[in-house]
Amino acid sequence: MSLRHALLALVEAGAMTGYELAKWFDQSVAYVWYAQHSQIYPELRRLEAEGLVVAETRPRGEKALATKRAYALTKAGAEELRRWVGEVEELPALRDPAYVKATYLEYASPREARAQFRAHRAHYEALRDHYELHVEQLERRATDLLRRRLARAPQDTHDAIVAYKAHAYRGLIDRAKTEIGWADRGLELVDRLAGRSGRADGDEPVLPPTPGEDAI
C-alpha cells in the first residue's frame, strides 16, 4: 500500500480540502498506514499533476477573501484505485525492532528485559482497545467518514463496505492479541531464567557484550 492510494480512497468519498483529508486520514487510514501531515500535501500535488485528482478552488469563510482547494477523484484516479485494489502485492520483508532486540536480551538485565516486554504489552493493549472501539463504531455505522461514503454508494453495497472495513480491523485486533500473548510469555521466560540464575531482580546483564580483542 502507498500513501497515494490511501488518499485516492479518501477522496472517493467526496471532494475534500487538504486539511479535511489530513483530518480524515488521522481518523481512519492512520490506524493501518501512518503518515505525517507533511507527507500528505506533496502527495496531493503529485496526484494532481498526474491527473488522478483535480482541485477546485473554493472560498474560505463567509467573506471569501481567501480561497482553499478541494480535491476530487478523476476518472483516471478511479481507474488507478481500482487497479491497485485488485493487484496482489508481494508482502514486505519483516522489520520489527522489538523482535530484533528480544533476540539479544541476554545482554540485558532481568529488570531491563521485563521493561521491554511490559512496554510491548502496553502498546498492543492500547491498540487492541482502540481497534475494538473502531469496529464497534463501524458496525453501528457511526463514523462520519463511513456515513459520508455510504451516502454516495448504492444501498445494496452498504453491507459489503462495512463488513470489509470491520474485517480489516478485526485482523488488527487478532494481531494485537498475539503480540500481547508473546509479551506475556516473554515475561514468564524472564522469570524462569532469572530464577535459575538467582538474578530475579538483578540490574546486571545476564551476559555483557564482549569487545573484540583488537578493539580500542
d(CA 142, CA 27): 13
| Choice between 211 and 171, residue whose per-residue pLDDT is larger | 171
Are 117 and 189 contained in the same domain? yes
**pLDDT at 205 exceeding the cut of 70:** yes
Rounded average pLDDT over 148-155: 95
Q: Are 49 and 12 in contact (CB under 8 A)?
A: no
pLDDT at residue 195, as a whole number: 81
C-alpha dihedral (105, 110, 115, 118), degrees to nearest 10: 90
Give the mean pLDDT of 149-163. 96
In 58-142, where does DSSP find H-type helix?
75-86, 97-103, 110-139
Q: Could you give the CA distance from residue 23 to residue 1 in angstroms, rounded to a whole number?
A: 20
Give the strands of the sheet with 16-17, arranged side by side.
16-17, 66-73, 53-60
- For residues 65 and 129, membership in a common domain is answered with no
Q: Are residues 123 and 175 in the same domain?
A: yes
159 part of a folded domain: yes
- Say if residue 122 is in the same domain as residue 188: yes
Asked whether residue 173 is domain-assigned, the answer is yes
Domain shared by 127 and 169, yes or no: yes
In this structure, the answer to whether residues 25 and 107 fall within a common structural domain is no
**pLDDT tens-digit map of 85-134:** 999 988 888 889 999 999 999 999 999 999 999 999 999 999 999 999 99
Asked if 152 and 13 count as a contact pair (C-beta separation under 8 A), the reply is: yes
pLDDT of residue 203: 73
Give me the number of domains the chain comprises: 2
pTM of the model: 0.85
- Confidence at residue 37, expressed as pLDDT on a 0 to 100 scale: 87
Cα separation, 53 vs 73, in Å, equals: 5
pLDDT at 46: 95
The residue segments making up the domain with residue 62 are: 3-86
Q: What are phi and psi of 97, to 5 degrees?
A: -65, -30
Segment (H or E) for 150: helix 144-152
**Residue 204 pLDDT level (bands cut at 50, 70, 90):** confident
User: Are residues 56 and 118 part of one domain?
Assistant: no
6-27 pLDDT tens trace: 999 999 999 999 889 999 888 8
Is 213 inside any structural domain? no
List, for residues 58-93, the tens digit of each pLDDT value.
777 666 667 788 999 999 999 999 999 999 988 888
- My answer on whether 170 and 111 are in the same domain is yes
Instruction: State the average pLDDT over residues 166-191.
Output: 97
C-alpha dist (Å) from residue 16 to 38, 98, 191, 206:
17, 38, 53, 55
- Alpha-carbon distance of 167 to 164, in angstroms, equals 5
pLDDT, tens digit, 9 for 90 and up, residues 24-53: 888 888 888 888 888 999 999 999 999 999
What is the distance of C-alpha 48 from the center of its chain? Answer: 25
Question: Of the given ranges (119-128, 148-157, 195-204), which has the lowest mean pLDDT?
Answer: 195-204
